[in-house]
């Protein structure tokens, strides 16, 4: 296997007034092509910051991130924007939806920007919205939908350009269990079709579907659990128990 993302010596320091906060300290890991990795850890441990820096949304203080063979820190702002548009999908807590557009238009915008065939894009967006149960609100203004609907719209948008990697920050955070199940099924389908996933979650049930779990504490990787590939139709209960006891050992 080869890595789609390779992270070496990643540090991120926030400076507020004279106080500096070393939020990520020498973080190193690989995301293999086609792999699904979860990041877990206490609140404030640096999980969201890790997703932001690894995806080039935010600048790192030190270290290197190689994405598909390209060194992010050597890329211009314009190159990064294009890389994000064509090769990355995002489901973040702050979701950067366009306020003046409806749900459907927000979802198709990245595909139009990438110059894809509009009829195909529209059909694909509709199919995604249908599978995620938000087709009824397609024409709704983005300000007039619930947090959970917005989260699912965000997943549709993340998938519209068939990205190489999806970065997801608590993609089921605002959802009831059946909507969470829909979101996870969609993410797992994308993963089976070759999309790599780096996902932050507080839910062992959700993380139990990934191949590997990385545990972050105070900006350091404190361990990883290899769960292996989830088989077709395999129940997650025993994986979840394994993960829960592993997390308990780490004081989670
Ligand atoms: N823009 C920022 N400026 C200054 N400090 C920040 C900023 N963003 C995050 N931090 C700080 O960095 C640390 C890590 O934050 P981060 O959001 O990465 O945590 P997290 O693990 O995602 O937590 P949660 O599980 O609550 O989402 C926290 O101490 C936070 O206060
Ligand atoms: Mg967070």
**What is the DSSP track for 176-198?**
-HHHHHHHHHHHHHHHHTT-EEE
Cα separation, 177 vs 183, whole angstroms: 10
Of 44, 53, 206, best ligand 1 pocket probe by most atoms within 8 Å of the beta carbon: 44
Token representation of residue 3: 């890595």
Ligand number nearest to the C-alpha of 169: 2
Consecutive 10-residue runs of the chain (252 residues): their mean pLDDT?
94 92 97 98 96 93 96 93 95 80 96 96 96 95 89 94 96 88 92 96 96 98 97 90 96 86
CATH of domain 32-52+77-249: 3.40.50.300
Cα separation, 159 vs 35, whole angstroms: 16
For the chain, the distance separating the N- and C-terminal CA atoms, rounded to the nearest angstrom, is: 31
Quickly list DSSP for 132-143.
TT-GGGTTSBGG
Q: Name the closest-CA residue to atom 12, ligand 1.
A: 23
Interval between CA 202 and ligand 2 midpoint (Å): 9
Q: Helix crossing, 103-113 with 118-131: angle to 10°?
A: 140
Q: Is 14 in the pocket of ligand 1 (CB under 6 A)?
A: yes
Cα separation, 230 vs 193, whole angstroms: 14
Q: Is 191 in the pocket of ligand 1 (CB under 6 A)?
A: no
How far from the centroid of its chain's Cα atoms is residue 30's Cα?
15
Dihedral (CA of 49, 77, 90, 207) sign = negative
Cβ(52)–Cβ(200) below 8 Å? no
Q: Which atom of ligand 1 is nearest to the CA of 216?
A: 21
Cα separation, 15 vs 118, whole angstroms: 44
Give the pairing of strands 220-226 and 212-217: antiparallel
Q: Is 44 in the pocket of ligand 1 (CB under 6 A)?
A: yes
**Amino acid 95: pLDDT:** 65
Reduced to 3 DSSP states, what percent helix, strand and coil does the chain have, rounded to the nearest 5?
Answer: 40, 30, 35
Residues 6+ apart with CB under 8 A from 82: none
Cα separation, 110 vs 160, whole angstroms: 7
For the chain, what are the domain ranges?
A: 32-52+77-249
**Amino acid 94: pLDDT:** 66
Please give the model's pTM, rounded to 2 decimal places: 0.95
DSSP conformational letter for 73: G
CA angle in degrees (0–180, nearest 5) for 3-5-11: 135
Q: Is 48 in the pocket of ligand 1 (CB under 6 A)?
A: yes
Token representation of residue 252: 């989670």
Q: Is 53 in the pocket of ligand 1 (CB under 6 A)?
A: no
Q: Name the closest-CA residue to atom 27, ligand 1.
A: 43
Interval between CA 118 and ligand 1 midpoint (Å): 38
């Amino acid at each position: 296997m080869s890595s789609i993302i390779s992270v070496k010596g990643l540090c991120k320091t926030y400076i507020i007034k004279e106080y500096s906060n070393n939020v990520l300290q020498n973080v190193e890991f690989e995301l293999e092509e086609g792999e699904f990795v979860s990041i877990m850890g206490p609140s404030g441990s640096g999980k969201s910051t890790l997703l932001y820096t690894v995806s080039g949304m935010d600048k790192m203080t030190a270290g290197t991130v190689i994405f598909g063979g390209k060194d992010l820190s050597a890329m211009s702002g314009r190159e990064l924007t294009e890389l994000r548009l064509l090769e990355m999908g995002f489901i973040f807590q702050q979701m950067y939806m366009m306020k003046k557009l409806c749900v459907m238009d927000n979802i198709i915008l990245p595909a139009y920007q990438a110059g894809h065939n509009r009829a195909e894009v529209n059909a694909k967006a509709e199919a995604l919205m249908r599978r995620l149960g938000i087709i009824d609100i397609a024409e709704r203004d983005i300000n007039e939908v619930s947090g959970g609907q917005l989260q699912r719209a965000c997943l549709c948008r993340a998938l519209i350009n068939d990205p190489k990697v999806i970065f997801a920050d608590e993609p089921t955070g605002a959802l009831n269990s059946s909507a969470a199940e829909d979101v996870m099924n969609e993410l797992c389908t994308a993963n089976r079709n070759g999309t790599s996933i780096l996902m932050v979650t507080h839910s062992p049930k959700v993380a139990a579907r990934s191949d590997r779990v990385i545990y972050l504490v105070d900006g350091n990787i404190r361990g990883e659990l290899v769960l292996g590939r989830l088989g077709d139709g395999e129940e997650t209960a025993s994986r979840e128990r394994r993960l829960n006891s592993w997390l308990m050992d780490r004081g989670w």
